[in-house]
Structure 1
Amino acid sequence: MARTSQIDLFIYLEIILLQIFELPELVLFTSNRFTMVVAAGLVSSLAINHRLFPRMPHSMFLEYAYLDNQMDADSLSFQVKITEKSGFSEETGIPDCMTLLPTGKSLSYARDEAELVIFSTVSDLFKKNNIVPKSIDILIIDSSMVSPTPSLSAMVVNKFIMRSNIMTFNLSGMGCSSGILSVSLAKDLLRVRRNSLAIIVSTELLNVNRYIGKDPSMLLTNCLFRTRGAAILLSSRDQDKRKAKYELQHLVRTNRAKDDQSYNCVFQDVDSEMKLWVSISKDTVKVAGDALKTNIGSICRKMRIQSRLCALLHARF
């Protein structure tokens, strides 16, 4: 039986590390007295068949960039430097369409990639937890750069023939925070919908997001992202409490969009040649550090208040 733990700050750090380093398992959690069911697989080339997601070692990535013949020498040199410092292993994967020369880039390819990533993670989640699709009450999918019609959540409902009264949500444009924002949304929904199951699927689709140009701030995204996806199961059902691995006590959100430096640090725009992509500014590390500092301060205050309250109750009773 999995133990139930009270997770405050550490759940944030664990989720961040798992997504950055693409570990094969994602620890699951719930919100405010809502229990988490079992761990789900994180899709990567380590967890699935290489025939589905081709392996992309550094040498192959740079070779494809060179053979694509759409970048100048400075752009290639910049990508070599960033890739070598990225920390990615030689086992990370990419979608099939990005192994084409020239690189295939279309909404159709993006849908194929979405189906492969999302369907495999959700299917694996169902199997590992021995649940059926019709038992799911809430479905949330987040993907920053791809938001097609029909939506990604509608695609999952159609594939797994889910109930007609399921609540579905599709979050886009929220960057690296989208996974935690999805958890926050699920927390609020489970608070008002007792005895429910919720699934969150977090991914980023690469196909339509490959940048072929000369702007270094936009070339960064080619080097810092690989195919990945995670599906997690949250429950507010009493019968799931004993097998829950974690119970999330606090979830703190810090929104710094009012600050111009924060607002502009990751920005979708066109370059001088009118090529659309996302620019990552040199201020991003500072902005992220400031946001994390504020966020950790907020959650630590909650933890201190809780500790003091427990100490007071213990002294009195």
Structure 2
Amino acid sequence: MKPLTHIQLSIAALFSFTLLIHTLFSGTPFTHILHLFSSNLTLSLSCAWCVSISLLYYFSTRSPQVLLLDYACFKPDFDRMCTYEVADYFVRRSQRFNSVSIEFMRGIYLKSGLGDQTYAPPFIFQTDYEAKLESAVIEAKEGMFSAVDSLLLKTQIDPRQIDAVIVTCGSFSPLPSLSSLLVNRYKFKPDIKTVNLTGMGCSSGVVSIDLAAKLLRSNRLIRYALVVVTESISLNWYFGDDRSRLVTNCIFRVGCAAAIITNDPSRRRVAKMELVDSLRTHHGADDRAYRAAFQEEDEKGYPGVSLTKDLIQVAGLSLRVHITELAPRVLPLSQLALYAYSVFMSALSRGDSKPIVPDFTTAFEHFCIHTGGKAVIEQVGRVLRLKDDVTESARMCLHRFGNTSSSLVFYELAYFEAKGKVKKGDRMWMLAFGTGFKVCSLVWRSLRDSCNEADNPWNDCIHRYPLKAW
């Protein structure tokens, strides 16, 4: 028997409701209604039919819940730690940069907000100082295999239970794909759905979770989705002397995260969080936004990602547009009323007064803000009127791990859990920016209190954070 369609259920519910209304209000006195229910079999059956059809319609059309079963973050070995001394030694010994570029990178590094415990890819520690395809593949394997191994161990999920694999890596797309690499490693079932996302920058971790959620909600045959978010620095190290491209050498570091997302309601009791909402806004129609972070060759033919001087302003303007769409979904009515009043007064004053920025701390207990760099974090804080204690996780994550691109929001989530700050019922906002230019948000609700886990990447250093000076 085929399941009823939404139209069929709607017609049945409407017919039943009409029959009930006709029976109740066809001249029968109200005092006789209870008597009718007890003595009129037709009316009782009509009511039961109406309720049954309405409940059936509700449960058949309701989107399934999307749950974060668990996640894991990759923590490289100690010998991959990139201190200031290691970075400076590599730059000087490579003999690929002129003295002006070396001094420029030193200045950027020292004021970047990065500490001495971030991690670099394998080729940084090799003697030939040449990034090759093999180095990029090793970097990808180390991060992805470590994160997925840890995740499968924690969740006790058999790899053959996974129905979909989504891998995102902004600037590395080998053949076969990274998702095929995982299929080969973990022997996933033949009918598994695989997706590769590339070229989406630091927002792709949030984008991939949003995509997984849409798959789980639209196809009930997909129960478990594995999301792996990583980046490759090896083939994207810039060896020229253009300043806008040299910045990436100073702030991007190795990182990877894996998460299992499910729509299985029986897993709710062990899941960490429920996805409440998601939003993606794309601002690429504007040329400045489109070219704010752009990969191309310099005058000498060296490829690199240029971070233009417009990037910070573009991020701020795009964020303002983004939150105007997100605010009505998440803010309490009191904040929405204040915002609407400020907009009205701004219109009356013909722009002399500006609309207020809603207080998003009334909607969220925790913020995982894009860890793109010190200037980006400060710009987000200014736009959203956030105090330093709210941006703490982003600032400390930048110091400890650097800009890990698409996986950065998961390292921030790990920070909150290492601190024991996440409580059942808490709401969390993950916010990330991406090339193109994109602003992406995930809204979560915690299903249980955070607990200290053995694979948390902050375990060996959380006692030192937050830093007093940054």
Q: What's the TM-score bracket when you normalise by the shorter of the two chains?
A: 0.7 to 0.9
1:74 pairs with 2:100: yes
Q: CA deviation at 1:50?
A: 2.3
1:217 pairs with 2:279: no
Report the AA paired with residue 78 of structure 2: H
Q: CA deviation at 1:101?
A: 3.3
Report the AA paired with residue 200 of structure 2: M
Q: Deviations over 1:197-228 (max 9, x none)?
A: 11111111111011111000010110111110
Q: CA deviation at 1:303?
A: 2.2
Runs of 4+ in 1 over 3 A off after TM superposition: 304-308
Map 1:154-303 to 2 at 5 A.
154-194=180-220, 196-303=223-330
C-alpha separation between the residues in 1 aligned to 2:98 and 2:329? 52
Task: Describe the SS at the equivalent of 1:87.
Answer: coil
Question: 8 Å contact 2:144–2:256 — kept in the other structure?
Answer: yes
Report the AA paired with residue 70 of structure 1: R
Q: CA deviation at 1:305?
A: 8.2
Map 1:136-151 to 2 at 5 A.
136-151=162-177
1:117 pairs with 2:143: yes
Report the AA paired with residue 145 of structure 2: F
Specify the alignment match of 1:34 in structure 2.
Answer: 66
Q: CA deviation at 1:271?
A: 0.5
Specify the alignment match of 1:88 in structure 2.
Answer: 114
Question: 8 Å contact 2:65–2:265 — kept in the other structure?
Answer: no
Map 1:297-316 to 2 at 5 A.
297-304=324-331
Q: CA deviation at 1:100?
A: 2.0
94-103 vs 106-115, which deviates more?
A: 94-103
Q: CA deviation at 1:91?
A: 1.2
Q: CA deviation at 1:44?
A: 2.7
Specify the alignment match of 1:24 in structure 2.
Answer: none
C-alpha separation between the residues in 2 aligned to 1:95 and 1:219? 17
How many residues end up aligned between the 2 structures? 272
Q: Deviations over 1:70-117 (max 9, x none)?
A: 100110011101111222221111122221233121112111111111
Q: Deviations over 1:159-181 (max 9, x none)?
A: 01001111111100011111111
C-alpha separation between the residues in 2 aligned to 1:303 and 1:213? 45
C-alpha separation between the residues in 2 aligned to 1:306 and 1:236? 30
Specify the alignment match of 1:13 in structure 2.
Answer: none
Specify the alignment match of 1:44 in structure 2.
Answer: 75
Question: 8 Å contact 1:32–1:248 — kept in the other structure?
Answer: no
158-167 vs 96-105, which deviates more?
A: 96-105
C-alpha separation between the residues in 2 aligned to 1:158 and 1:34? 27
Question: 8 Å contact 1:110–1:207 — kept in the other structure?
Answer: yes
Structure with max Cα Rg: 2
Question: 8 Å contact 1:136–1:162 — kept in the other structure?
Answer: yes
- TM-score (ref. length: structure 2): 0.56
The percent identity for this pair of structures is 33
